[in-house]
Amino acid sequence: MSEQGCLQGRTAIVTGAGRGLGRAEALELARLGARVVVNDFGVAGRDGSGEASAAPAEEVAAEIRAAGGEAVAHRGDVADFAQARGLVQFALETYGSLEILVNNAGILRDRMVFSMSEDEWDTVIRVHLKGHFNTTHFAAAHWREASKTAGGPVYGRIVNTSSEAFLAGSAGQPNYAAAKGGIVGLTTSTANALAKYGVTVNAICPRARTRMTEDVFEGLEVPANGLDPLAPAHVSPLVGYLASPAAARINGQLLVVHGGMVALLERPKVAAKFDTAKEAFTVEELDERLTPFFAERSPQETFAAGEVLGLKKG
């Protein structure tokens, strides 16, 4: 694939694109030729000198335009159903089409499950999981109608953002891990539903040093030379690739990406199967069959896949 202009004529929405990963993804899509709608909920503020600064979405859109690309800013909360509808409509009204949706917007409210408040739970689930659903809903409805009008498949790409926290069972992030696990379920369901319309839906688990994760990676220093292994620039090319025509056969997949490495994860496999000798199990029979099996199994061998945290280039 010649990457130069591979997304020319395509329109992309990137949510949470005012900073960090979303910003890097928006810049990469624009570099590949896409017209980008830069969504972020952030407001204008003050810079270090006290001067007024533009809202984060407008700053990124201006950066893209200054580099010769096409971009517009959209300030809105994707976790609000009506505002998500407005975002998709804004893209269609501005550029006349929508081919790519990158769901990236998110927040953290880390706490152990026994200390977490209801609001901390609800807020994270709302922004991550509902936010992904809202934009996906309106983009999917558009592509379905477009496919009906065209009488066949159309071009559509969704890239969702999950996390290793869901895979490894991060103890201090029950809300975040649950939301990111839900996003994987949303991804595979949507991938199956939209495949016949020509739309692919995949999820990535990125690891990157951003404002949202600065506390998570606080102890890891930025190297003096070379690209930081936790730089968002390691993630954005994968998003650009998944949005491109070359990735047409990649659908319903989950990929871990960071530090010059991309890992494709396999779906869960059945580890053991137990059949009752009778018409239905009883507690006693389950005790006879399952207890010896788990007595020989390491307590650390759970559904959580902590080994993904050890993945690295090389």
Based on the residue annotation, tell me whether 97 is a catalytic residue of this protein. no
Residues forming a β-bridge with 73? 38
Q: Which listed residue (163, 170, 236, 244) is catalytic? A: 163
Distance CA 184, CA 162 (A): 7
User: Quick check: 291 and 241 in contact, CB under 8 A?
Assistant: no
Distance CA 299, CA 297 (A): 6
Tokens 């505002």, residue located? 83
Based on the residue annotation, tell me whether 180 is a catalytic residue of this protein. yes
Based on the residue annotation, tell me whether 155 is a catalytic residue of this protein. no
Distance CA 267, CA 211 (A): 31
DSSP state of 222: P
Distance CA 87, CA 228 (A): 33
User: Quick check: 19 and 42 in contact, CB under 8 A?
Assistant: yes
Q: Which listed residue (95, 155, 176, 241) is catalytic? A: 176
- Give phi and psi for 91, each to the nearest 5: -60, -45
Q: Which listed residue (95, 130, 170, 180) is catalytic? A: 180
Extract the runs of DSSP E, i.e. beta strands, from the chain: 11-14, 35-40, 45-46, 52-53, 71-75, 100-102, 156-161, 199-206, 254-258, 261-264
Q: Which active-site residues does the annotation give? A: 163, 176, 180
